[in-house]
Structure 1
Amino acid sequence: MCGRLNMSLDPADLVDELDIDTVGHRFSPRYNVPPGAVLPIIVDRPAETGEAVRRLESARWGLVPGWAKDEKIGFRAFNARSETVASKPMFRAAFARRRCAIPVAGYYEWQADDSGAKTPWLMHAPEGQLYMAGLFEFRRRPEPEGEGDDSADPAVRDGWLVSSTILTTASAGHLAEVHDRMPVMIRARDIPAWIDPTAGADEAQSVLDELLAGFDPAAVERYRVSREVGNVRNQSADLTEPVDDE
């Protein structure tokens, strides 16, 4: 699984590298991001001209389909298993039509020993960002009552909640020593194929298969970090500092 992220790098720095046309995501460094928080997502969306526009936008972490009666459903949909994502009712529509890439500085995972004690690790790229395969959805928000509005929520645009989930797969290489699941990773050059809004479910499955087959565990490094990261109220940059192996 993937349930805690390091969002300490500004994804707007990727504008040139990824040919991003529009930046709507408001960045602030965060070192201990749980489900329910806001993520940056990279999407291709059609403009009024019909041409795709590459956008960096904000989304709530935890997928909320348009048909959902309660947004709380997102708290159990922050990950989607790649093995079943194309068929599960929660995810299949987004898999067929609304795929995204999620840039992160890294993610945390916990390694359990024989006694049950858990040691946190930070997984990160040797340089720069990691990119994770994700899905996104839109859900219409009811009109706010009274004087309140949704303008303070970066995941809400023009009355629509944007939400996202991260695809996972069986861990590979040294990552399996920490946890049996990992995010589905994307190389920067593969992002356009994954987020292509004209590609349907069959094409998306082919791209996903290629992403899984082509993953190199050496593209992700790891080191131990403080157990303080286990408490989401802890947000210090010190959480990303390596600790001794002992």
Structure 2
Amino acid sequence: MCERYTLGASKEQLEQRFGSEMLENFHSRYNIAPTQLLPVITSDSPAGFSHFYWGTTPGFAKNKPLSLKYINAAAETAATKAATKSAFMRRRCIIPADGYYAWKKIGKKTKIPHRFVFPPDRLMSFAGLWEEYENENGEINHTFIILTVPANPLHRDFGDTMPAILDKGQEKIWLDKYSSPEQLQSVLSTYSEDKMTTYPVSPNVNFITNDSEYLIRKTSPMDQFGNYTLFG
């Protein structure tokens, strides 16, 4: 599952990495959460970043608000499930990211947030699907979800699934309108643990109102339990 991610890159870095034009007012993000308006690249408009809301309403459920629950979908069944099969063939996107957060359960009630990254400071993307629908006010909403795959060994202490991470070659296949279902499914594989690393971060990431760069800094175990003096 993917519930939060980061995009600390600059406008120039994003444009260079993805070959797409970004809005002038883009700013780095360190605690991205569902329902927020975020940059994606779609198969319909690969030359520029679009800005869609994270958390979609399935196509068969009309006139519903943005969904807090429907933010991920399993890649293994995305081509066949009613909620995603149309988007799988017609409305694919990639979501740029330089890391994501996951929580490791310690004891019965405590969860420690960690950040997963792709060193050295690599920009990657998640495979996603997007939707367009009319909301209750008659306005057109564009939304997206992130596809998930079985977790690699590094991620298994945090959950059974992780985001479907794409490299440049896989992004081209995913965004190509003429890719076959077999080609599309082939890029939705579990990302190698050898290409990732993880480290603990401040529990302040639990609050979506916090979106500062200090959230991505490595935090010692003692700071996980209330000592925030490093960030004062």
Q: Same fold by TM (over 0.5)?
A: yes
Paired AA for residue 130 in structure 1:
M
* Corresponding residue number in structure 2 for 1:103: 96
Q: Which runs of 5+ in 1 are unaligned?
A: 47-52, 145-158
Q: Distance in 2 between matches of 1:36 and 1:216?
A: 29
Q: What residue number does 2:127 align with?
A: 133
In the alignment, structure 1 residue 4 sits paired with structure 2 residue 4? yes
Superposition deviation, residue 73 in structure 1: 5.3
Could you state the TM-score of these two structures normalised by the residue count of structure 1? 0.80
- Identity of aligned pairs, percent? 27
**Is the 8 Å Cα contact of residues 11 and 27 (structure 2) preserved in structure 1?**
no
Q: CA deviation at 1:79?
A: 0.4
State the one-letter code of the partner of 1:29. Answer: S
**Structure 1 equivalent of residue 16 of structure 2:** 16
Structure 1 residue matching 2:49: 3-state secondary structure: strand
Give, in whole Å, the separation in 1 of the partners of 2:66 and 2:22.
Answer: 28
CA RMSD of aligned residues (A): 2.3
Match of residue 36 from structure 1:
35
Q: Aligned partner of 2:134: which letter?
A: R
Check 1:7–1:243 CA distance in 2 against 1; reply closer, same or farther (3 A cut): same
Alignment CA distance shift 1:96-1:42 (3 Å)? same
SS at match of 2:77: coil
Match of 1:242 in 2: 218
Q: Distance in 1 between matches of 2:185 and 2:167?
A: 12
1:63 and 1:197, CA in 2 relative to 1: closer, same or farther beyond 3 A? farther
CA 1:108–1:9 in 2, change beyond 3 Å: closer, same or farther? same
How far does residue 80 in structure 1 lie from its aligned partner after superposition?
A: 0.6
Number of residues of Structure 1 aligned to a counterpart in Structure 2: 221
Pick the aligned partner of 1:168 from 148, 152, 158.
Answer: 148
Corresponding residue of 2:113: 120
What is the match of residue 225 of structure 2? Answer: none
3-state DSSP of counterpart to 2:102 = strand
